[in-house]
Structure 1
Amino acid sequence: MKEPWICYCFALFLFLNCYSTTAQPPFVNSSVNLPTTWSNTESLPNYFNFTDGSFVQVILLRESLGPQFACGFFCNGTCISYLFVVFIIHTTYRVPLSEGGFVQVPTRFPPQVVWSANRDRPVSSGAILNLTITGELVLQDVDGSTVWTTNTTGKSVVGLNLTDDGNLVLFDINNSTVWQSFDYPTDCLVPGQALFEGQQLIPSVSSTDWMAQKDSYSLKVTDKGLVAYVGSNPPQAYHNILIDDVYVNSDDVYDKYIDTTRRRYVRFLNGNLSLFIHSVEPSDPLGVITIPKASSAQYMKLMPDGHLRVFQWKAGWSEVADLLTGDYFKECNYPMTCGRYGICLGNQQCSCLVSTSSNINYFRETKGHQPNLGCSEITTLTCNATQDQLLIELGNIGYFTFIRDMKNVDLATCKQACLNNCSCKAALFQYGGSDSSSGYCSLPSEVFTMMIVEPDLYYYNNISAAFLKVQNVRSLPASGSKSQSTLRVILASTIGSSMFLFGAIGFVIYVIRKRRWATQMEEEYIDEVPEMPTRFSYEELKPATKNFNKKLGEGGFGAVYEGTLEDGSMIAVKCLEGLGQVNKSFLAEVKSIGSIHHVNLVRLRGFCAWKSQRFLVYEFMSKGSLDRWIYHGNREHVLEWECRKKIILDVAKGLAYLHDDCRQKIIHLDIKPQNILLDKDFNAKVSDFGLSKLIERNQTEVMTTMRGTLGYLAPEWLGSVITEKVDVYSFGIVFLEILCGRKNFDRSQPEESWHLLVVLQKCWEQGTLVDMVDKYSEDMQTRAPEVVEMLKVASWCLQCDFTKRPSMSIVVKVLEGVMKVESSLDYNFTDPRLQKITVEDDKDTTTLFPSVLSGPR
């Protein structure tokens, strides 16, 4: 009996050892012990591409034929970002090996992601997942920053396991669970998984879905049952699966199972979704929602459209159930079926509100002629113009929810309450009880899809009357009234010189009205630009910044103020001055920089356009700008060599991303220490790269007016034909300043050493580069040989001939030790014309033709 087992083990040993030399080794096990490290580099094993452009790199796998759970790195589409996920992968056939045995090969059906650790913070290629010796599972991006962690240090973790039901578990020496992915659901539930009160499912929204918003839908457990919400303030419930609405075992006594010490939850089981709201296992649930029994892998997912769908493997993934449905709940009940302010009729036929009897349109399609994507106000509601607001009545309209904000009030009181409340967007009214004069009032802060209902028929959340709040466009000038006003001015001028004063008054009124109309057109244009970053209102920024009280800095185009949003996150608000009206170039650039995300670029969180003022809202960088830390006599404390080296690499990576990895090549044009910001851990981020210069990838150079800061300008600026190498030169100057601990132009030095480049050229000629190392840092002096090598990198960036400078991508590779510095360098670093400009200007750095978003924070 033992011999077959011996043969089997020997064959398996040969299989594992022989196959480990091939291009694709066999799948890994479902459990590992610490410490262990994985990287998402393509050259590592267990790497699979799929027909939809996605790929996975398997780390742990539950081996079996057919669909099975696995965890690892996942990317979709262009694969410029990665997630650490648990997914279901399907293996259906085995490839025999010549040495004996076989290897399972996955089909090309895309993997189904059921849990993600970092879906809001994707990592780049080269990221590391580390199960540390202290028992913590940590995901770090390629720059070393921590993106996600289990926070289990010191909890006696000994290993990582992926269970048969897809639960990723950290366990201790007693095999007890210390941490599990089931406690942190994302958008899916798998059979056996529970959703507890306090947890929620939130759909994963594609970055290309411009209409969908993060947190737009959610699914939660309450004391009444399972409730689906759409995002607003407060959230609006669009579907309830209550214990009174589902099948309840008639033999159960309701009070018998009440247990206030346990958390309420629902559990996804094969064949049903069980509601344990007032009962606990092993007792029977108080309610169940029937689901088709699965013959293969199954999971449920809250979709971006608000549906809760159940999927199953049947020669491919297919939908087998949609749980948020019912006799009175049809497609039009989903809040975003026709978008915001959309009207839904029948089989998802969408439209916007038509003209009223006064021939005034208050709404239009948000995106082209696609009413299914929602409607928007032609004139935006503003809190400082409530006197010009009114309510328009809607006939035979239903809404997916009705929150009783006011009870025992009449219709007139309900309407007036909405007009008096700035956040109210509509007044919905239900008559209640036998009293026909009073009822309930709902005052939603956002209006989602409404639906046409047949009169005199019962409808879910029947509404007796519905009114939408709109801005009275009659208070704004129409084009015809402008012409009439002009005509009146002309006629008045013919009466004689005695009427000249009235003509002047009429002209002033015309100008004022024209400006108001232009402001309205600006607002309309902003609303029409898709994929814009978050637009903040002035009413949000004013309290966030405490009435713009704490100034962080000031540049050529306005001041920057510290602020704190309602969610507690800190921001830096830049007030742009002198821009005048909103124009297409401003919005295009805001849209562009709002879509750029890199760990070494300061993130634009949003913008605000209020009257003639423009604001940009950035993430807050607590350590301020680099110039506070590198200049002797002007720094808060002396930075160690390792910190300076990390800052240099961070800046290089940020510029390399702008030059090489964006959709359009972006040249910064104003690299200087004031535009390099530091967070609390001294991670460096490039700021003010908006409104720089965008060029197409097939362009090699571009002509533009001179812009930037004296002392950091490349020589080729004098010819006005520039490439991205102007940024390399400016980076070289900053690089040099960090290594030397002084400004590039410093009158406190002896006259022959005013210019740092002159000193560099002299030191190269005399072979005394070590003399340039920051003399006020003991650590820098100790590491002088290494600093000298870095001075050579800076010198390569400072070549007067821009064609001989390296690209920023090459600079990154040199700094990381992958490449070496060019050996044949030109040591003539100075251009007398630029030196003359700098000397004649009696300031250290003076901004010439700055980009619109330029200036220190």
Structure 2
Amino acid sequence: MGSASFFFVVLAAAASSLAVQGRDYDYNPDARLGINNNASLATRWINNNVSLSDNKYADGTTVRPIVLRSTRVGGRFQGWSFGAGFFCASPCDFFVFSVFIATNGGAYENGESPPLTSSGPQVVWSASRASPVRENATIELTRHGDLVLRDADGRTVWSSGTSGKSVAGMEITKHGNLVMFDQKNAIVWQSFDHPTDSLVPGQSLTEGMRLTANTSATNSTENQFYVTVLRDGLYGYVESTPPQLYFSYPPVKSNKTVTDPTKVTFQNGNLSIILEAPKKPYHDSQITVFYYGIVDYLMLPLSQFSQYMRLESDGHLRLYQWSDNENRWTTSDVMEISRNCDFLTPCGREYEISGDCAYPTVCGAYGICTNAQCTCPPEGTTSSNYFKPVDDRKANLGCTPLSPISCQDMQHHELLMLTDVSYFDQSHAIVNLTNRNDCKQACLKNCSCRAVIFRYGQEDSNDECFWVTKVFSLQSIKPEAAHYNSTAYLKVQLSPSNSSSAPSPNKRKVMLAITLPTTSILVSLLIVAILYLQRKRKYEDSDEDSEFDQLSSGMPTRFSFEKLRECTEGFSKILGGGGFGSVFEGKLDEETVAVKRLEGARQGKKEFLAEVETIGSIEHINLIKFIGFCAEKSQRLLVYEYMSRGSLDRWIYNRRNNGRLDWSTQCKIILDIAKGLCYLHEGCRRKIAHLDIKPENILLDENFNAKVADFGLSKLIDRDQSKVMTMMRGTPGYLAPEWLTSHITEKVDVYSFGVVILEIISGRKSIDRSRPEEDVHIIYLLREKAQNDQWIDLIVDNNSDDMVAGQEEVIQMMKLAMWCLQNDSSHRPSMSMVIKVLEGAISVESHIIQSFLNANSVMSVQDNQYLYSVREASILSGPR
């Protein structure tokens, strides 16, 4: 089949169950799928070249369209079309269900053959980037009105979440919007509400939406760059902790007072940003800022070109336009704007991007960009080096420290000064630190600081100190051109020998005379020690086998490493991973299991044996079932039951991909978590504090039954102990205030449980630095909304019928969270009390609510200065 001949594919596979409906404006007959009085809405498309037309392009891409639309002007079809279907890039190993723009090189009449082009379709939206599917995957419009994507093995990858919403059909609009509509033609779901990395003309981003870049041109998983709309404009970030700002527009903060959300719309090559501010609108070649009112656009003829805008993997936001004359896509960079220095802000402000050197990853980590050339610091010196290139042949991949920063050796930290070097993110100024020496000392005293940038002008009042916790690319500047001076100070790790001055030549001779014979003796001793340890290890291996064989009856099964390698097909099907290792899907006989392979574990065999016995001795319907383990030499593996719905975080934060959890399901999950924790705290011989309760460690089975998982950080507490002392562990955002003292009880789990309740209800993370400053911490936000009697504002979807109708129950759940979030651990309820509240046996007393509202939450344990001293547990956010 020709490269452009798919534009008028008839959906024969759907003909038996779907009726085609027309509209007044121009459209393709296969752009809209619907039902008539005699048809039922239940259609399934299979991703293979038998069920769908297989369209291959010269660049290696393949498209299998399901719905298509070509634009027609004056009886002539234009040179571009929108479609939705299965798409794969070269070498075409996996597919994504996508909306794409297909070009054919020119306009043509009815009956004519479309002009051919070698340019493959351009993807502008995809359903599940992180989970591409294989040959024979399916996309189904179910009888219940849900659009569901399943892989070839039947596993659900993505769902529109529209089940039960009276969906009558699906279409691709002339603007490239994949829409599901009801019997009254009202939109039930649309792809425009769930942007990925691209915008098409007419598409808007509203406040809180974001574009997230793909990892690469052939890898559609999300990478670290994203652009989002906040209350006062459009912002570009590179992901770190906290996120680092590299682009902002408009360049000044607005005094916006209206409640309508900020809106950014792409139209005719421009982004229009609707703000509320005084004075006149400002326009440049690619971005227009309207300070008031709605503006009508001058619509260019559709026949001239097609357009889209994409956030690239390198952080560039590029405008793509199809050129019929050149028969290719042409690009321009939206972020590289030019404006007069006397408008609103002087030249050289950090918001303006000028050239590749201003992008975070242009020279990789720690790389210095000078006129598009990359070098490692210290630049241009022959003295001691502290960094080396990641790849000598590819300078743009960045640099790596010769000695990694060690928080246990802070006395040997030093700051390497780089003059006339700036940094893209200057949004994290350290308040009240305008003295250069104070700026440097603050960084040396905190291990989470990896660099500081000291920026200064002609007057001391202009001096600023900026804190950096993760170092991306740096940029050389010319102060006279930039109108400011900047010095970067990079933290480096010195060995004790580097801290002292170099010895004199005579001393070196004496040291050499002493060192040579000493070295010979040490080498001999080392050889003897190695032989001894090898012999000892043989005995230890045999002893280890006997120790694990002595596990009491009823304990989990011990598997061989080879058995687990075989059942996981060589550890090929990864489900997730984190700081303690990775989790793989496996098959033991006919049972699907999750195999956790511990990596870099510091446990010895006695500690690992104790952990296995502890986990193996507990069994509860709301705790993950532990099946077995493997301990062979340095190999440590744990085998658990497989949970098909994956972890709870996928259903909270990524609900656009997985569908919304209704209120009854949310309540059920919360109760299940409470029952699992209650058993750990009160049902075991020794209390078990989990210490890392968060949505990532709550797993869901096919019926949304919740089970507590991942006991890698748990702590045993004797019944006669009121508190135990332990080093800080867990995840920022869920840490109780008493972690600052290291004296904790099982009540730290109760605090984390309260945070999880709020996340389930609100559909957001406990700490979200992409939000306005006053909304970053969910606990602060809860206090504010409760004090102003605006509880409903915290609900994840204010238009959710079941949550709005049952808002009294929702508010009671928030009050339970307040009880769990008391600063004083002794004032928090036990988990058995929590269950009684959830089951309606008791209610939360008003004085507890007042105590929460009047308290000053101790949030410093969640903030940056403690963030890097917290030992993070595994993040296993895949089905298992």
TM-score bin (small chain) = 0.5 to 0.7
Q: 1:179 to 1:332 in 2, by over 3 A?
A: same
Of structures 1 and 2, the larger Rg is shown by 1
Give the drift of 1:373: 1.5
* Unaligned runs of at least 5 residues, structure 2: 1-7, 16-26, 35-40, 72-76, 288-298, 339-347, 349-353, 531-554, 565-574, 606-614, 647-879
Alignment of 1:300-311 (within 5 A): 300-311=309-320
Residue 226 of structure 1 corresponds to 234
Give the drift of 1:574: 6.3
8 Å contact 1:425–1:468 — kept in the other structure?
yes
8 Å contact 2:94–2:134 — kept in the other structure?
yes
Residue 582 of structure 1 corresponds to none
Residue 272 of structure 1 corresponds to 270
Q: Which secondary structure does the structure 1 equivalent of 2:414 belong to? A: strand
Post-superposition Cα deviations, 1:355-400, rounded to whole Å, max 9, x if no partner, equal 7878211111112322112111111112222122100111111222
Residue 447 of structure 2 corresponds to 422
Alignment of 1:374-453 (within 5 A): 374-409=398-433, 410-431=435-456, 434-435=459-460, 439-453=463-477
8 Å contact 2:214–2:221 — kept in the other structure?
no
Distance 2:625 2:226 in 1: 46
Give the drift of 1:51: 0.7
Distance 1:71 1:164 in 2: 12
Residue 323 of structure 2 corresponds to 314
Alignment of 1:230-245 (within 5 A): 230-242=238-250, 244=252
8 Å contact 1:404–1:440 — kept in the other structure?
no
* Amino acid in structure 2 at the alignment position of 1:242: P
2:321 aligned with 1:299: no
Alignment of 1:113-262 (within 5 A): 113-206=123-216, 214-242=222-250, 244=252, 260-262=258-260
Q: Which secondary structure does the structure 1 equivalent of 2:231 belong to? A: coil
Instruction: Report 1 or 2 for greater relative contact order, CA contacts < 8 Å, sequence distance ≥ 6.
Output: 2
Distance 2:262 2:475 in 1: 34
Residue 331 of structure 1 corresponds to 356
Distance 1:55 1:681 in 2: 30
Give the drift of 1:595: 14
Q: 1:221 to 1:681 in 2, by over 3 A?
A: closer
Residue 375 of structure 2 corresponds to 351
Q: Which secondary structure does the structure 1 equivalent of 2:104 belong to? A: strand
Post-superposition Cα deviations, 1:775-831, rounded to whole Å, max 9, x if no partner, equal xxxxxxxxxxxxxxxxxxxxxxxxxxxxxxxxxxxxxxxxxxxxxxxxxxxxxxxxx
Q: 1:682 to 1:238 in 2, by over 3 A?
A: closer
Post-superposition Cα deviations, 1:319-377, rounded to whole Å, max 9, x if no partner, equal 2421111355222111111111111111x111112478782111111123221121111
Q: Which secondary structure does the structure 1 equivalent of 2:102 belong to? A: strand
Distance 1:595 1:314 in 2: 47
Residue of 661, 680, 692 corresponding to 2:643: 680
Give the drift of 1:413: 1.3
Distance 1:394 1:371 in 2: 19
Q: 1:384 to 1:482 in 2, by over 3 A?
A: farther
Q: 1:117 to 1:270 in 2, by over 3 A?
A: same
Q: 1:357 to 1:574 in 2, by over 3 A?
A: closer
The TM-score, its normalising length taken from structure 1, stands at 0.52
* Amino acid in structure 2 at the alignment position of 1:233: T
Give the drift of 1:95: 11
Residue 81 of structure 1 corresponds to 94
8 Å contact 1:35–1:133 — kept in the other structure?
yes
Residue 9 of structure 1 corresponds to none
* Amino acid in structure 1 at the alignment position of 2:286: T
* Amino acid in structure 2 at the alignment position of 1:324: M
Q: 1:16 to 1:454 in 2, by over 3 A?
A: closer
* Amino acid in structure 1 at the alignment position of 2:450: K
Post-superposition Cα deviations, 1:668-721, rounded to whole Å, max 9, x if no partner, equal x9xxxx9875412499xxxxxxxxxxxxxxxxxxxxxxxxxxxxxxxxxxxxxx
Q: 1:208 to 1:43 in 2, by over 3 A?
A: closer
Q: Which secondary structure does the structure 2 equivalent of 1:415 belong to? A: helix
Give the drift of 1:188: 0.5
Give the drift of 1:465: 2.6
Distance 1:400 1:442 in 2: 11
2:387 aligned with 1:363: yes
Distance 2:170 2:584 in 1: 38
Q: 1:355 to 1:131 in 2, by over 3 A?
A: closer
2:514 aligned with 1:488: yes
Post-superposition Cα deviations, 1:506-532, rounded to whole Å, max 9, x if no partner, equal 9599979x99xxxxxxxxxxxxxxxxx
Residue of 61, 72, 83 corresponding to 2:68: 61
* Amino acid in structure 2 at the alignment position of 1:134: H
Distance 1:465 1:217 in 2: 26
% same residue: 33
Give the drift of 1:221: 1.2
Q: Which secondary structure does the structure 2 equivalent of 1:62 belong to? A: strand
Distance 2:639 2:597 in 1: 20
Distance 2:485 2:601 in 1: 36
Q: 1:234 to 1:67 in 2, by over 3 A?
A: same
Give the drift of 1:426: 0.5
The TM-score, its normalising length taken from structure 2, stands at 0.51
8 Å contact 1:28–1:60 — kept in the other structure?
no
Aligned length: 521
2:486 aligned with 1:464: yes
Give the drift of 1:144: 0.9
* Amino acid in structure 2 at the alignment position of 1:216: Q
Residue of 51, 54, 67 corresponding to 2:58: 51
Alignment of 1:10-25 (within 5 A): none
Q: 1:613 to 1:509 in 2, by over 3 A?
A: farther
* Amino acid in structure 2 at the alignment position of 1:366: V
* Amino acid in structure 2 at the alignment position of 1:88: I
Give the drift of 1:120: 0.9
Q: 1:312 to 1:284 in 2, by over 3 A?
A: farther
Q: Which secondary structure does the structure 2 equivalent of 1:417 belong to? A: helix
Q: Which secondary structure does the structure 1 equivalent of 2:174 belong to? A: coil
8 Å contact 2:284–2:337 — kept in the other structure?
no
Give the drift of 1:151: 0.5
Q: Which secondary structure does the structure 1 equivalent of 2:409 belong to? A: helix
Q: 1:299 to 1:140 in 2, by over 3 A?
A: same
* Unaligned runs of at least 5 residues, structure 1: 1-12, 21-25, 246-253, 493-502, 516-550, 561-568, 576-589, 615-623, 630-634, 640-668, 684-856
8 Å contact 2:576–2:584 — kept in the other structure?
no
2:83 aligned with 1:70: yes
Alignment of 1:389-788 (within 5 A): 389-409=413-433, 410-431=435-456, 434-435=459-460, 439-459=463-483, 462-473=484-495, 475=497, 487-488=513-514, 507=522, 609=600, 678-681=641-644
Distance 1:194 1:352 in 2: 41
Residue 36 of structure 1 corresponds to 43
Give the drift of 1:432: 6.7
Distance 1:391 1:52 in 2: 49
Give the drift of 1:433: 8.2
Q: 1:47 to 1:114 in 2, by over 3 A?
A: same
Q: Which secondary structure does the structure 1 equivalent of 2:223 belong to? A: coil
Distance 1:474 1:213 in 2: 43
Give the drift of 1:216: 1.8
Q: 1:261 to 1:45 in 2, by over 3 A?
A: same
Distance 1:94 1:433 in 2: 60
* Amino acid in structure 2 at the alignment position of 1:267: T
8 Å contact 1:418–1:424 — kept in the other structure?
yes
Distance 2:315 2:186 in 1: 36
Q: Which is further off, 396-405 or 472-481?
A: 472-481
Distance 1:336 1:443 in 2: 18
Distance 2:478 2:585 in 1: 44
